[in-house]
Amino acid sequence: DVKVTQSSRYLVKRTGEKVFLECVQDMDHENMFWYRQDPGLGLRLIYFSYDVKMKEKGDIPEGYSVSREKKERFSLILESASTNQTSMYLCASSSATSGSYEQYFGPGTRLTVT
């Protein structure tokens, strides 16, 4: 079974702090994604990566950056957290080589910025 893990289930940070959210997948997937999910807005793509050291902006990249130094790990960075970044953050991965591109999600991180 594909397993996608996220470093924290719940996180509380103060405004202005630098925040790191980490995601690890164990199935050698090429593609990794970061989404945020908010009531009434659904899932929105922040950033994605198709390979190591490669990143592409999604729909809402402002205020975020990412890092992919190893294939299995994709980090989301909030350089200076703000209250409007309070949200549920979901990481996902998919295989490009299998051809299916089925996405597998982690359990999510509920981030609260006070």
Partner 1 sequence: KQEVTQIPAALSVPEGENLVLNCSFTDSAIYNLQWFRQDPGKGLTSLLLIQSSQREQTSGRLNASLDKSSGRSTLYIAASQPGDSATYLCAVRENDMRFGAGTRLTVKP
For residue 84, report the phi and psi dihedrals to the nearest 5 degrees. Answer: -75, 0
Give how far Cα 43 sits from Cα of 16, 39, 108, Å.
Answer: 24, 9, 12
Q: Does 108 bind partner 1 (CB under 8 A)?
A: yes
Residues in Cβ contact with 32 at an 8 Å cutoff, skipping those fewer than 6 apart: 23, 25, 48, 49, 68, 74, 91, 92, 93
Q: Does 100 bind partner 1 (CB under 8 A)?
A: yes
Q: Among 24, 74, 106, 113, which residue interacts with partner 1 (rule: CB under 8 A)? A: 106
Judged by CB under 8 A, the chain residues 24 through 43 that form the site for partner 1 are: 33, 40, 42-43
CB 97 to partner 1: min, Å: 15
CB 38 to partner 1: min, Å: 11
What span, in angstroms and rounded, lies between the C-alpha atoms of 99 and 79?
35
What span, in angstroms and rounded, lies between the C-alpha atoms of 98 and 78?
32
Considering only the stretches 13-21, 62-70, 73-81, 103-111, report the one whose residues sit in contact with partner 1 under the rule CB under 8 A. Answer: 103-111
Give contact residues for partner 1 (rule: CB under 8 A): 4, 33, 40, 42-43, 45, 48, 58, 88, 90, 92, 100-108, 110
